Structure 1
């Protein structure tokens, strides 16, 4: 085959151009520090680069954003739980001080003021927020655990009523001690030095203590919503006793009236607004039913009724209405299945909006746990729910203490009144002797009341310790999540470093190697130009 000058020239130009392309590639690699500029440079490297970049992006999101967010949430929860534990410890210490039965009402009042302050702090700790989200509120992160002053002001313009369903079992039936000394306000019931004393009675009453006081009454006159309230008691078979403005009714699980012979129809419920009047009525041996006291949030009954109608394993669902709220009250939407009726008109409850809460959650047994994605197919719970820590019992226990203080103040006042009356008569006169008997009776009643307060404080120490145990369980769970998150964060940091190293190995260049190749390419290019120009200077005519 004859090799012409044209063929040689074309081949030389092609080879020089290929060398120039290589030079361009090496120059781009040096300037970009990357093996490829466009996917077509190396499709395998390009595909692997896309995958590694996605991995680095995901790990960066998990490690730098999600995990850090979760850490902050858990840290705020830890701080709040530590505060709550400290508050409960303070309440326990105050209970130990209050257990002294020889304290006066003034001494007890000082202790109570400190306990009230601690109780307010207990619930206010639940309103901790992180970046505008309340950390104990479950999915409702825009709603604080307790009602705030702003909420109460708004309710003053547009009343809000809640129909609340609360489950209470047999073990939650509690007792309250009641002392009746009305006998000293009348004539001597009989002859003898102890006639008044014998008229002083002291009994233990039983009760279902609901989670709130200040509930709506049946007639509705004093309710903030101006609507009549109701109380409903349902057993585990679905049978119901309901007391409303239409009276008392007994219904089966389908809503049909129970037959007259059913044992449930023998149970009656009466409403009594004044707690003292309610206790007095139940303390009467002839009373055989239940007294509902909306003011104190209790359903009270006697020992005989308790023994005849309740047994181990019983459970009940109580439905009641509450429209009077105060700053610091726990919002029921975080604890119960409830229906909110909110005025959206002129404040008269003629134009309302109803909203149901926790219906599906209670039916399906679901909890409002919040999870963060902190890894590939890996989640971690970050929240502690209000119902795990903020029990209503802390507030309701303070209500019981308030009642104890009022009882002690009343008996001390009665004792002072009688002592003042005795000063009006000479010792030995019939009037003086009569007041002396009354004083002895009042002192006997006072000893009952002081003993009851002493027992209440002693039992309360154990209760506060139980609340602390629940708080510590929440603290342990939160700490466990934090420890797991630390392990995950460490692994994510290592993964991020590994993926970045793989990314560098895949896309990055060896600068030294590329520099040598580029220099070699430049020298080859120059040599090729010189050789080609030398060859092209000679043609066939030079030999003719």
Structure 2
């Protein structure tokens, strides 16, 4: 076949172009450090790179955002639970001190003032938040656990669940005396007595009462139904002389709204002891600062109130006491619950037990005030010496009995604070175990991140030593092809004529 100069020229140009293209590709790899510059260079590498980069993005999302956010949430929760546990320990110590015989009324009153502060601190810790989200309120992260100010804009119908073991046997001082303000008629002097009572303490005091158009009382339902059947409930005030005593027959109960308790006679108590479940439904509409929100603890229904204090039916909201787990995705198909709910860790029981101590202390101070008033009535002639001596004797008895009631309240505080501290510690331990799992996942993600990064490098990055050698070789080849082409194309047929 005849080879012409044009054929040689074309062939030389093609070869030089190929060498230049190869050199250019190697130069791009050399300067960028990447095997390909666009997907068409190598579709397999491109597809693999997209998948690996997606994986790396997900790993970084878990490692750099989700896990730190979960850790911070759990750190705030752990700090609050630890603080509550510490406060419970201090409450226990104060209750042990208060139960001691040698203490004076002033000493016990000083303890009560400290208990009030600790009670407030417990529930204020329940308002702990992370980045503006309350950590103990389940899904309702925009609502605080406790009321930060008094609120009477809503009325709640609350269903509180009890078992027979929640029924309490307590003592109350009955048949107490009052100090007369006039000399006639002659004062009636009573003999105070310690009366054993049976009760259920509700989560709130100052509950809803009403006398018109009908008398309001809570409803009690039980399992089996026969345990609570036929109980006649009568509203009372703790100031009523018969608030803790009963007359007549049949199962009876007194609804004492101001102290938030339902007191039973022996027959009603014996019946309720056979129940496996006791459900008490009651209303409350005036919440004071520091009260817990019912929706975080109980099955309840809320209504907003109009200017006259009546329920607005269209504002009805039903709440269920249920597990509300806030879960973070911390790895592929792995979720971790980061929150602890107040209903599991911060019970109302401790606050109500401290309320009992406060009420018992106030009752004791009232008796001491009556003792002082009686002496004044003797001095101004309202009481005769004989009446004063008799009244003083009974007031001394009343004080002794109320001191015992106060000591009983402190003793209850010892056991409740210990139990509540154990509950908090269990929840804190559960939180700690979840935190350890989070740390293990974080460690695994660190390893996974390194592995994916290595795979990405192997897939996309060039071997620099190899590419330098290949680049130098291609450059030499390109220069050689240019030199050979230059020598070949300078000769033509005319050079030999």
What is aligned with 1:500?
A: 453
CA contact 1:339–1:354 (8 Å) conserved in 2: no
Alignment of 1:326 with 2:288, yes or no, is yes
Is the Cα contact below 8 Å between 1:165 and 1:319 reproduced in 2?
yes
Count of residues in correspondence between the two structures: 488
Alignment counterpart, residue 398 of structure 2, candidates 433, 442, 445:
445
Deviation at 1:542, TM superposition (A): 4.9
**2:239 matched to 1:276?**
yes
- For residue 165 of structure 2, what is the aligned residue in structure 1? 171
* Shift in Å, 1:523: 1.4
Is 1:160 aligned to residue 154 of structure 2? Answer: yes
Deviations 1:253-280 (A, max 9, x none): xxxxxxxxx88653211111x2131x72
Aligned residue in 2 for 1:462: 415
Measure how far apart 1:2 and its partner are: 3.0
1:290 aligns with 2:246: no
Task: Report if the CA contact (8 A) 2:197-2:265 is conserved.
Answer: yes
8 Å CA contact 1:374, 1:380 repeated in 2: yes
Give the SS at the match of 1:179.
Answer: strand
Listed as ranges, the matches of 1:1-400 within 5 Å are 1-149=1-149, 152=150, 155=151, 159-182=153-176, 199-219=191-211, 230-237=217-224, 266-272=230-236, 274-277=237-240, 280-286=242-248, 288=250, 289-307=252-270, 309-343=271-305, 349=310, 351=312, 353-359=314-320, 362=321, 366-400=322-356
Q: Determine helix, strand or coil for the equivalent of 2:161.
A: strand
Aligned: 1:411 with 2:373: no
Q: Is the 8 A contact 1:181 1:445 kept in 2?
A: no
C-alpha distance in structure 2 between counterparts of 1:28 and 1:263, whole Å: 87
| Alpha-carbon separation, structure 2, partners of 1:233 and 1:23 | 91
Q: For 2:36 and 2:238, how far apart are their aligned partners in 1?
A: 84
Question: Aligned equivalents of 1:500 and 1:57: distance in 2?
Answer: 11
1:533 is displaced (CA, Å) by 2.1
- Helix, strand or coil at the partner of 2:126: helix
TM-score with structure 1 setting the length: 0.83
Q: What CA deviation, in whole Å up to 9, does each residue of 1:204-243 have, x standing for no partner?
A: 111111111111103269xxxxx98551211225x5xxxx
| C-alpha spacing 1:419/1:80, structure 2 compared with 1 (3 Å) | same
1:126 and 1:49 map into 2 onto residues whose CA distance is: 48
User: Residues of 2 paired with 1:28 and 1:2: CA distance?
Assistant: 40
- Alpha-carbon contact 2:147-2:290 (below 8 Å) kept: yes
Farther off after superposition, 296-305 or 459-468: 296-305
Q: Which residue of 2 aligns with 1:224?
A: none
SS in 1 for 2:35: coil
CA contact (8 A) 2:95 2:410 kept: yes
2:356 counterpart SS class: helix
TM-score, with structure 2 as normaliser: 0.91
- Offset of residue 333 of structure 1: 1.2
Does structure 1 retain, via aligned residues, the 8 Å contact 2:378–2:385? yes
What is the RMSD computed on CA atoms of the aligned residues? 2.6
**Secondary structure in 1 matching 2:147:** coil
| Alpha-carbon distance in 2 for matches of 1:264, 1:371 | 41
Alpha-carbon distance in structure 1 between the residues aligned to 2:468 and 2:296? 67
Q: Which runs of 5+ in 1 are unaligned?
A: 187-194, 222-226, 240-261
- Does structure 2 retain, via aligned residues, the 8 Å contact 1:207–1:298? yes
Residues 183, 51 of structure 1: alpha-carbon distance in 2 compared, 3 angstrom cutoff: closer
Are the equivalent residues in 2 in contact too, given 1:181–1:442 (CA < 8 A)?
no
- Separation (CA, whole Å) in 2 of partners of 1:347 and 1:424: 48
The unaligned stretches of length 5 or more in structure 2 are 181-187
Deviation at 1:416, TM superposition (A): 3.2
Whether the 8 Å CA contact 2:219–2:282 is kept in 1: the answer is: yes
Cα distance in 1 for residues equivalent to 2:126 and 2:177: 47
